[in-house]
Amino acid sequence: MNRLPPPETVCLALTGASGLPYGLRLLECLLAADCRVQLLYSQAAQIVARQELDLELPSRPAEARAALLARLGLAEARLDVYGREEWFAPMASGSNPPDAMVICPCTMGTLAAVAAGLSDNLIARAADVALKEGRKLILVPRETPFSIIHLENMLRLARAGAVILPPNPGFYQHPQSIAELVDFVVARILDQLGVPHRLQARWGEPA
């Protein structure tokens, strides 16, 4: 059972690590839960979306929004898409932060930028705002193996209050598809956000 109040607004950032299926499924679940999603995506995420999902993610926010809604089979949703240099976007300022932010998937470069406080793009700035305003920040780093630099950056962020949630699916539920493996990870992210879901039976509950 979720103990946290569900967030009204979630900033979701997609970066160029492998693992875009996690990000797209998370977006779908957040919209289904009637969260307002503020979506950011890097140029590398556009390349990975094409490679992993056969999804063309246009550079223009309005076109990207239309492509995502079409992919999810939605006519309309509480989805706001922002450009990489849209510095007047709400999540760029501590005066109007989202309730929570998730970077999924998160590259090691993005993780390092956030750990160092380098707000040189909108994704890193939004994460910096989330940390300084005491909002939930979840990073889903997709890399293996982790170097000492990666681990030290994660430790620094964890000490600052961020949640480090590597996309490591469990197998005790005997998954039968890649979709079920994706849902396992997305369920853990939703739990951290306090967003109710029924993606999988919980430990100790009947399937």
Region 138-157: mean pLDDT is 97
First to last CA, the chain: 15
- Edge-to-edge strand ranges of the sheet holding 79-81: 79-81, 36-41, 9-14, 100-106, 136-141, 163-164
Please, which pLDDT band fits residue 3 given cuts at 50, 70 and 90?
low
pLDDT at 2 over 80: no
Tokens 């979840």 belong to residue: 138
Number of Cβ atoms within 10 Å of the Cβ of 90: 17
CA–CA distance, 171 with 187 (Å, rounded to integer): 14
> Which DSSP string corresponds to 46-112?
HHHHHHHH-----SSHHHHHHHHHHHHT-S--SEEE--TT-TTSGGGSTTS--SEEEEEEE-HHHHH
User: In this predicted model, which residue has the larger pLDDT, 63 or 205?
Assistant: 63
Alpha-carbon separation of residue 159 from 29, 145, 153, 154, 193 (angstroms): 29, 22, 10, 9, 19
Domains of the chain with CATH codes: 9-193 (3.40.50.1950)
Which residues, including other chains, have CB under 8 Å from residue 95's CB and lie 6 or more apart? none
Per-residue model confidence (pLDDT) at position 185: 98
> What does pTM read for this prediction?
0.95
